[in-house]
Chain A
Amino acid sequence: EIVLTQSPTTMAASPGEKVTITCRASSSVSYMHWFQQKSGTSPKPWIYDTSKLASGVPDRFSGSGSGTSYSLTISSMEAEDAATYYCLQRSSYPWTFGGGTKLELK
């Protein structure tokens, strides 16, 4: 099983600040996918195939990486970005999620 480790587990960012969340895989994966979840709601697909933004995702978000190291970046933090973000690998079964990164507004 491929284990995904996200860091940090929690963080706070000020409006306008650049934010980077990393996801490290225990073995190489072909792509990484990201989801955003706000309290009391279903997760939303956010970034797929490492760097493609899902429909409606602001272009201040970006994704990058390869092999065992991937990241989600927000170029300029906005209040609406406060949420928990999860990475997911589908390169091998069982598919696995990272433990989540809770991003708060400072």
Chain B
Amino acid sequence: EVQLVESGGGLVQPGRSLKLSCVASGFTFSNYGMNWIRQAPGKGLEWVAYISSGSSYIYYAETVKGRFTISRDNAKNTLYLQMTSLRSEDTALYYCARLLSAWGQGASVTVSS
């Protein structure tokens, strides 16, 4: 069974940093491109970032470019999202996803003083 389990969310002050992790199981993680998608409270879905299977290709939404960094460790079957200079508008549930086939349960990030 494919599983994606996010962790690392929490309450953080504006301007601070936070790092999310997503541990994958049930499939060969190193064969798949992975994504982070977020959903602000009561709002729709927003694609945040993509990383290819071997980390050669990385893309970001304009809203996070320069502040967020997606990375992966294929030896540990783990996807990461390093978030810096956080803003209140980054408050959301952050999903790790093998986009067209499997999503995690989400990690909640709240940016507030």
Contacts and interface: CB of A to CB of B under 8 A. Distances in A.
Interface of A: 1, 33, 35, 37, 42-45, 48, 54, 86, 88, 90, 93-100
Contact of A99 (B44, B59, B105, B106): B44
A43 B95 contact: yes
Contacts, number: 48
Interface string B56-71: 0001111000000000
A42 B105 contact: yes
Contacts of A33: 99-100
Interface residues of B, number: 19
Contacts of B60: 94
Interface in B30-87: 37, 44-47, 50, 59-62
A35 B45 contact: yes
Q: What 7 pairs across the A-B complex have the smallest Cβ distances? A: A95-B47, A97-B45, A42-B103, A100-B44, A48-B100, A93-B59, A94-B61
19 contacts: A33-B99, A35-B45, A42-B103, A42-B104, A43-B45, A43-B95, A43-B103, A45-B99, A45-B102, A48-B100, A54-B101, A88-B99, A93-B59, A94-B60, A94-B62, A95-B50, A95-B59, A97-B47, A99-B44
